[in-house]
Chain A
Amino acid sequence: MFSPKPTASLSVAALRQFTTSAVALGKPGCNTIKPVHHRVKINKNKLSHRFPELNLSKNDIRNPAFKPTSTYQDRVEEHYHNTIASDLLLINAQEGEFTQFGKKRREWDGSSPYHLNRSLRKPQGSEAETLDIKPHTASNIPKIEAIHINCYVESAKDNANHALNSLVQIQQITGVKPKPIFAKTNVIHWRVRAGFQMGARVTLKGRPMNQFLSTLTDIVLPRIREYKGISNKSGDRTGNIQFGLTPDDIRYFPEIESNQDLWPKTYGMHFNVVTSAQTDAEARTLLSAYGLPFHGSEKGTKPENIEY
């Protein structure tokens, strides 16, 4: 930190380094301001003058990484806009709706002096805060935003090839390049160590997501023997639905099925469908429009009132 003394300015300028001007000013060598230039990560490739095309945006045709996106008709997206959206509006819209506030963290009553700097009390009847539910209008119609696929391969702890195979498997199924996942901590009785490559994950959005959804609902799920559907109890209470497929179910994907001999072992995976619905019940209604089946009893709904 500087003191604005004009007298010391010359010598200060000579001695001053990036963050340690204090020593030069005759103060203890301690700076309370954190150095900015250590924290801001600079992509030095961007500073190079050699390849100016790389600094253009990815959807600029001059960028070497340019990839055309709208190259085919997206029937799933069209179906959403032509049919599903207006139906969902009709299902969800209600007269005289107000914002229902979720459970929020509470103030302490101040009966103890220690309440002063204590962090807020947890919400009543809940460990975590819950979201507000806003009125359902034409501008917040539920929509599928992304599908997260996570494939954790337990056998990869003994043979790292399984983790690599799971990467390829997800790439084959989705057509999108997956990322490897690594064990974060040592888990002794699983014999897993931090840093082991344990599987693959990918986030699908837009066209690849729609393509994947239609493959799933038209080809894979109808062929699974005695498939009951996604559980009506699934969901994270904020409008995202989770389900899973076993290694045997994965074999019904056409990319795997046509190369049976290449896939002596397949890997099951978990799916998290992220929607913009405000509650899980609305998210389930949305997913059923894409042909995903549901089973079981739904919380807060009588079984005879669930339509299938």
Chain B
Amino acid sequence: MLTQTTQGSLKQPTLQLLRGLRTKSKNSRVATVSAATQRIITGLSVLSGRKKYPRILKLSNEDLIRHDTIQAAWAQYQRDIRTDRQSVLDKQYDSIINAMEDLKITNMELFKIANKKEKGKRFPLDARIPVDFPPNKVWHYEVKAPAEKK
């Protein structure tokens, strides 16, 4: 349906489409939810991966070749690190076994002590994983455990 609006005699009357017009006020169309429900909706929107993907990179053929070359080089670098690491460990294992065999020949009693299974071995609790910004005081040595109740 079309209606004419006359806002002034000098102006050209403008045509307005009624069908697309909003009949109710904007606020009444929004479903109102309780604060708790709204919190859950917000939380779930954190989970959803939709709309969070960045735009797909547009790569030309040259870009793609460049990217693949760097990827291949990085993978090779990582592979080298891995093989180096493993070869060091293999050497360490061989030297452990060699030392034990030497000890076996030299002193059987010491060998038995050295070759015992270390069950219940623990790393010290105050050993830290290195971080970029360690605290100034790493460990509070003076803290004592409270005396146990009897």
Contact = CB atoms under 8 A, between A and B. Distances in A.
Contacts of B101: 95
Interface string B95-113: 0110011001000000100
A87 B124 CA distance: 12
B21 interface: no
Interface of B, helix, strand, loop or mixed by DSSP: helix
Contact of A61 (B64, B118, B129): B64
Contacts of A95: 97, 100-101, 104, 111, 115
B85 A307 contact: no
Interface string B77-105: 00000000110111011001100110010
Contacts of A61: 57, 59, 64, 67
A290 B89 CA distance: 20
Contacts of A81: 85
Contacts of B57: 61
B120 A307 contact: yes
Nearest to B131: A75
A139 B96 CA distance: 14
Contact of B122 (A85, A139, A306): A306
Nearest to B122: A288
Interface string B55-68: 01101000010010
Contact of B89 (A75, A86, A281, A289): A86
Contacts of A48: none
Contact of A138 (B56, B93, B117): B93
B141 interface: no
Interface stretch (A116-124, A160-168, A183-191, A246-254): A160-168
B20 interface: no
Contacts, number: 119
B97 A291 contact: no
Contacts of A84: 123
Interface stretch (B4-12, B22-30, B40-48): B40-48
Contacts of B49: 177
B147 interface: no
Interface stretch (A16-24, A32-40, A267-275, A292-300): A292-300
B89 A301 contact: no
A279 to B, nearest CB: 9
11 contacts: A62-B59, A84-B123, A94-B115, A96-B115, A164-B43, A168-B40, A218-B129, A284-B122, A291-B129, A298-B120, A300-B119
Interface of B: 36-37, 39-40, 43-44, 46-47, 49, 53, 56-57, 59, 64, 67, 74, 85-86, 88-90, 92-93, 96-97, 100-101, 104, 111, 115, 117-123, 125, 127-132
